[in-house]
Amino acid sequence: MRPTVFKDEAPLSIEYIPARLPHREGQLTFLTHLFRSLLERPGSTGQRVLITGPVGTGKTVIAQRFGLDIVRAARERKIALRYIHVNCRECKGSLFAVLRKVMDRFEERFPRRGFSSEELLQAIMRILDQKNFILILALDELEALIEADDSALYTLTRVQEDRVTEPIRLSLICMLREVKYLESLDRSAASTLQKNLIELKPYSSNELITILKDRVSIAFKDGVVQEDTLEFVADLASMNGDARYAIELLWRSGKYADSEESREVRPEHVRKAAAAVYPTLRGDHLASLSINEKLFLLALSRTLEESDQAYVNMGDLERVYKVVCEEYDMSARGHTQFWKYMRLLSATGLISSKPSGKGTKGRTTLIGLRSIPASAMRECIESALEVFSTDARRYSA
Ligand SMILES: Nc1ncnc2c1ncn2[C@@H]1O[C@H](COP(=O)(O)OP(=O)(O)OP(=O)(O)O)[C@@H](O)[C@H]1O
Ligand SMILES: [Mg+2]
């Protein structure tokens, strides 16, 4: 067997939920206090919380850690409390898809069609009543839901208000990168969310070091990651204060160390890793994109790469998108759908968009990429599409 610097790679994966969250203890305690009444007087109160903060500041992991803890505490008190974490981006911003995921956790055989989201929500509430369940619904990457459907959050916050005499069964934890997305919402839905606000700041280099040290001790063999390597990783990641980038950089550095059969992870491995990891392009994000969103991104990165401009306008992009669709034997989606892709990709941080300024004839929207070279984005998408076209060939064979 080849030698390796790793003891166990799992704690470096995105799914891993650490036992403790250094520098986020205060936020966890706040959540515990806020939700205490759910355990003390189940059915008498509900809560709504909003967690905001830039990429990799711990929004998702705080909610997940809290979810595991409160479910355990409820079990000890024999309270039927469920915590369900749904990613709105993966649901393409559809409230129906979000509620479908919730329903699947209660009743897999529930009919898949013939319901509106409101009816599905009512059906979920009935099940909660029948089983005497309390539900904490965690809505991650809420910007996708808001961008796609501005009444979705209103529907969710109103359902409890319509049940005046019934026990309160639904609480919400929402996660959002920027509060500005709330501006487009119904005022009351936005303000009930902002009442309990947890605002996370980017991590400093020292904070990242503590977080990394915990992972190093469980993921790497003793003594393979020296202090200066760790500091170097933390320094690079502290530019955005992004813990995900720091952890991915560390993991990738370990992989480079292994490929060179080195017994230690050294700064040179970190430099190599930094050239290959882009903070804005996450593997899990890429994997959940639809084929048409990938074609959109391919058109965008090709145009930017060829023109060497910072932005491209919507009209030009749409033309290239149609060519790209032809190349991959896909029928291009219409203008409205194309516009939706743009808004969703922009809300979830993969691309940036802004209205054109003076000097352009008529107003249009300009689209660009965030801190990733267009060539790197193109390569990633092309290889993701490669898998797609091989699969398509296999199915049509
Ligand atoms: N305080 C912390 N202690 C330990 N690990 C942390 C901490 N904060 C974040 N992490 C880890 O860093 C990574 C990124 O965190 P997380 O996914 O929660 O960020 P996020 O704010 O949800 O980012 P995004 O906006 O991209 O969704 C995860 O692997 C998480 O486990
Ligand atoms: Mg997250």
The pair phi, psi for residue 237, each rounded to 5°, is -75, -20
pLDDT digits (tens, 9 = 90+) for 251-300: 999 999 999 999 999 999 999 999 888 877 777 788 888 999 999 999 99
CB contact at 8 A, 362 and 305: no
Residues 229 and 315 grouped into a single domain? no
Over pLDDT 70: what percentage of the chain? 96
User: How high is the pLDDT of residue 395?
Assistant: 47
Ligand showing the shortest atom-to-Cα distance for residue 282: 1
pLDDT band at 396 (very low <50, low <70, confident <90, very high): very low
CATH code for the domain of 304 = 1.10.10.10
CB contact at 8 A, 82 and 72: no
The protein residue whose alpha carbon is closest to atom 2 in ligand 1 is 21
Cα(287)–Cα(294) distance, rounded to whole angstroms? Answer: 10
Task: Name which of 26, 25, 70, 24 is nearest 47 in CA terms.
Answer: 70
Amino acid at 289: L
Residues 195 and 209 grouped into a single domain? no
Ligand 1 centroid, distance to 211 Cα (angstroms): 10
Residues 29 and 152 grouped into a single domain? yes
CATH code for the domain of 246 = 1.10.8.60
pLDDT band at 390 (very low <50, low <70, confident <90, very high): low
Ligand 2 centroid, distance to 177 Cα (angstroms): 9
177 lines ligand 1 (CB under 6 A): yes
60 lines ligand 1 (CB under 6 A): yes
**Sequence-ordered list of residues with C-beta below 8 angstroms from that of 173, at least 6 positions apart, any chain:** 31, 48, 49, 51, 63, 66, 136, 137, 138, 139
- Domains identified in the chain, total number: 3
Closest ligand 1 atom to 282 CA: 26
368 lines ligand 1 (CB under 6 A): no
Residues 68 and 208 grouped into a single domain? no
Six-digit token pair at 357? 């300024």
CATH code for the domain of 151 = 3.40.50.300
Cα(294)–Cα(300) distance, rounded to whole angstroms? Answer: 10
Ligand 1 centroid, distance to 54 Cα (angstroms): 10
The protein residue whose alpha carbon is closest to atom 8 in ligand 1 is 58
Length of the chain: 397
65 lines ligand 1 (CB under 6 A): no
Residues 295 and 332 grouped into a single domain? yes
Alpha carbon distances (Å) from 84 to 71, 155, 159, 396: 10, 18, 17, 38
3 state DSSP class of 370:
coil
**Is 16 contained in some domain?**
no
Task: Name which of 110, 95, 153, 106 is nearest 133 in CA terms.
Answer: 106
Ligand showing the shortest atom-to-Cα distance for residue 177: 1
Residue 241 sits in which domain range?
Answer: 203-276
Ligand 2 centroid, distance to 175 Cα (angstroms): 7
Cα(50)–Cα(202) distance, rounded to whole angstroms? Answer: 17
pLDDT digits (tens, 9 = 90+) for 194-243: 889 999 999 999 999 999 999 999 999 999 999 999 999 999 999 989 99
Ligand showing the shortest atom-to-Cα distance for residue 285: 1
**Is 19 contained in some domain?**
no
With 60 as the cut, is the pLDDT of residue 316 above it? Answer: yes
User: How high is the pLDDT of residue 131?
Assistant: 93
**Is 321 contained in some domain?**
yes
Site of tokens 């291009």: 332
pLDDT digits (tens, 9 = 90+) for 31-89: 999 999 999 999 988 999 999 999 999 999 999 999 999 999 999 999 999 999 999 99
Cα(182)–Cα(52) distance, rounded to whole angstroms? Answer: 11
pLDDT digits (tens, 9 = 90+) for 147-188: 888 889 889 988 877 787 889 999 999 999 998 888 878 777
Return mean pLDDT, the chain: 91
89 lines ligand 1 (CB under 6 A): no
**Sequence-ordered list of residues with C-beta below 8 angstroms from that of 254, at least 6 positions apart, any chain:** 5, 6, 9, 12, 219, 220, 225, 265, 269
The pair phi, psi for residue 332, each rounded to 5°, is -70, 140
Site of tokens 């099940």: 127
| Higher per-residue confidence, 312 vs 150 | 312
Residues around the ion ligand 2 (C-beta < 5 A):
59-60
| Buried-exposed string 18-31: b where 16+ CB fall within 10 A, e elsewhere | eeebbbbeebbeeb
Residues 43 and 148 grouped into a single domain? yes
Neighbour count for residue 114 (Cβ, 10 Å): 6
Choose one of 57, 203, 213, 244 to mutate for the ligand 1 pocket test, by most ligand atoms within 8 angstroms of C-beta.
244
Residues 133 and 165 grouped into a single domain? yes
Closest ligand 1 atom to 63 CA: 18
User: How high is the pLDDT of residue 80?
Assistant: 95
User: How high is the pLDDT of residue 73?
Assistant: 97
Cα(218)–Cα(167) distance, rounded to whole angstroms? Answer: 43
Six-digit token pair at 339? 């516009």
Ligand showing the shortest atom-to-Cα distance for residue 216: 1
The protein residue whose alpha carbon is closest to atom 16 in ligand 1 is 58
User: How high is the pLDDT of residue 328?
Assistant: 93
Ligand 1 centroid, distance to 61 Cα (angstroms): 5
**Is 50 contained in some domain?**
yes
pLDDT digits (tens, 9 = 90+) for 356-371: 876 556 778 999 998 7
CB contact at 8 A, 52 and 59: yes
CB contact at 8 A, 172 and 117: no
With 60 as the cut, is the pLDDT of residue 320 above it? Answer: yes
User: How high is the pLDDT of residue 397?
Assistant: 41
| Buried-exposed string 77-111: b where 16+ CB fall within 10 A, e elsewhere | eebebbbbbbbbbbbbbbbbbbbbebbeebeeeee
Cα(143)–Cα(175) distance, rounded to whole angstroms? Answer: 8
Residues 208 and 309 grouped into a single domain? no
Residues 54 and 168 grouped into a single domain? yes
With 60 as the cut, is the pLDDT of residue 141 above it? Answer: yes
